Amino acid sequence: MSVDQLLLCIALVGEIVVCGLVWKRRLWRILPFFATYTAWCFLSDGAGALLLQKYTNASTIYQKYYYTQLIVDAVLQFAVLGELAWSVLRPVRASLPRGARFALYGLIAMAGAAIWPLAAITVPSSITGVDATLFHVGETFAILRIVCFLVMASFSQLLSIGWRDRELQVATGLGLYSIVSLLVTVLHSHMAAGPDYDRLNQLLSASYAATVLYWLVSFATKEQERKEFSPQMQQLLVLMNVGARSTRIALSDLPPEPSSKRTK
Amino acid sequence: MFLLLQIAIVSALLLYFGKWRKSMRRRNVQSWDTLLCQLRSDWSARDLGDQFLWKEGLNATTDDIWQRLDGPRGLWAMFQNARVMLEMADYANRNAFPGAAQIDPMILETLRSDAMQIRLCVLMALGQYALSQATEGVKVNAYRAANIYSGMAARMTALLQDHAAVILPDFVAAM
């Protein structure tokens, strides 16, 4: 069994277990696109493995299948990114205008459109035709994922928005895979096809298998036990809230351009 | 050279991502006591009002408040303490037992909104201060942040006095 086959087997077994855990832990309720994505990964990898038993990877049928699954994969990744970003905004959703979710997807699409011409610079001249387009798409998505994670991380740090455990686990896995894929894409753009090029592809496959195994272990673990939250603590929050509301009302009564001599 | 630069950027991203992941994880597992300990103790807001911690609201001009805040230093301390308050809200949301008296989700939403309001006011004030020093706009934003902040601190003191008098001296000292 070759290294590629071994990594594919690990990924396939991991993917089916992750799909089961996503269902069992009801993760599909909070992250439906991610649940669809994990199911898609299992189905597409499984179908790819079956096709490779009948055809070579240079055959037309396999090539067509490969290109199609890459497109679906890219669309699902886009949906998962939007879903994660939206879940980060959960604490402030109430104050967001209607249609904010669609605007978020629009922003991600715009970021992708801005990255597209930049990514074109690094496509090696030795690659042409459909392969060049695929490389370009791969690189664009690798950068887009990183940019999205950077924005989400910095935004949540700035406003001190917390991430729920499951969302954090999904983001950690995707983030790790994204960084490795970006690194591999960067290195690929500086080398010609050969043994080293293939080894980097194996590194990417290994990072994907590691991501799936990380999700497997994370989702298999129950969420953190609830800590004691005493009635006093609840009362504390209620009291803080009541007073904060009155402060806000008082502030809203202030004139728009208060003078420095104003007293409250 | 270009390749080395690219690798350096990716490595920096990896480091940042790891650090962020660690801080988020720490945030999700910390205890209530740890949260209380994170309130800034090297800066005191007791100069904001004559009866800070014991009475809500500010009775001073924007100029006075700016001076009492000690400028950007006080703003930054309020910014950090607002983060702790937000984490308190998250803690409450995570750890309230389903069977017990539920915390009204609106309370948590409003609490988050208030703490974020403090952070945004502080950020605006600090941004303006960096560009144009202590102008009227900076002082107004600082005043707004300080007003919400002093109200929260006063209510917390009242609550601790009623329900957890043992830890009140620590809280008063920390504030």
Residues B99 and B130 reside in one and the same domain: yes
- Judge whether residue A246 has pLDDT over 80: no
Task: In whole angstroms, give the CA distance from residue B72 to residue B142.
Answer: 9
Residues B52 and B92 reside in one and the same domain: yes
pLDDT at B133: 76
pLDDT at A218: 92
pLDDT tens by residue, B21-58: 888 888 878 887 787 778 776 776 666 666 666 666 66
Spatial neighbors of A21 by CB under 8 A, at least 6 apart, are A27, A215, A216, A219, A220
Most confident of A35-44, A160-169, A253-262, B139-148: A35-44
pLDDT at B175: 62
Instruction: Name the more confident of A250 and B133.
Output: B133
Distance in angstroms between the alpha carbons of the first and the last residue of chain A: 78
Q: Number of residue pairs across A and B with CB atoms under 8 Å?
A: 172
Residues B57 and B123 reside in one and the same domain: yes
Distance from CA of B138 to the nearest CA of A (A): 11
pLDDT at A256: 44
Q: Which of B4, B9, B17 to mutate to test the interface with A (most CBs of A within 10 A)?
A: B17
Distance from CA of A99 to the nearest CA of B (A): 20
CB B90 within 8 A of CB A162: yes
| Segment holding B168, helix H or strand E | helix B168-174
Q: Is A100 on the interface with B (CB under 8 A)?
A: no
Q: Is A96 on the interface with B (CB under 8 A)?
A: no
Residue of chain B nearest A90, judged by CA positions: B109
A196-200, B11-15, B92-96: least confident range: B92-96
Residue range of the domain that includes B79:
31-174
Residues B63 and B136 reside in one and the same domain: yes
pLDDT tens by residue, A209-236: 999 999 999 999 877 655 555 665 666 6
Distance in angstroms between the alpha carbons of the first and the last residue of chain B: 51
Q: Is A244 on the interface with B (CB under 8 A)?
A: yes
Residues B10 and B38 reside in one and the same domain: no
Q: Give the mean pLDDT of chain A.
A: 82
Query: Does the distance separating the beta carbons of A262 and B62 come in below 8 Å?
Result: yes
Residues B57 and B83 reside in one and the same domain: yes
Residues B71 and B139 reside in one and the same domain: yes
Q: How long is chain B?
A: 175
Number of folded domains that form chain B: 2
Amino acid (one-letter) located at A141: F
Most confident of A13-22, B15-24, B48-57: A13-22
pLDDT tens by residue, A107-136: 999 999 999 998 888 777 777 777 888 888
Residues B128 and B85 reside in one and the same domain: yes
The question of ipTM being above 0.85 is answered as: no
Q: Give the mean pLDDT of chain B.
A: 75
Amino acid (one-letter) located at A61: I
Q: Which of A235, A69, A79, A58 is nearest to A148 (CA)?
A: A79
Distance from CA of B106 to the nearest CA of A (A): 9
Residues B11 and B64 reside in one and the same domain: no
Residues B144 and B65 reside in one and the same domain: yes
Residues B95 and B121 reside in one and the same domain: yes
Of A163, A186, A251, the CB nearest to B6: A186
Helices A32-54 and A60-88: crossing angle in degrees, nearest 10, is: 170
Per-state percent for chain A, helix, strand, coil, to nearest 5? 80, 0, 20
Average the pLDDT over A25-41 and give the result: 92
Residue of chain B nearest A159, judged by CA positions: B116
CA torsion angle A244 A249 A253 A258 (round to 10): 20
- For chain A, domains (ranges, CATH) are 3-228 (1.20.1070)
Residues B87 and B120 reside in one and the same domain: yes
Query: Does the distance separating the beta carbons of B101 and A231 come in below 8 Å?
Result: yes
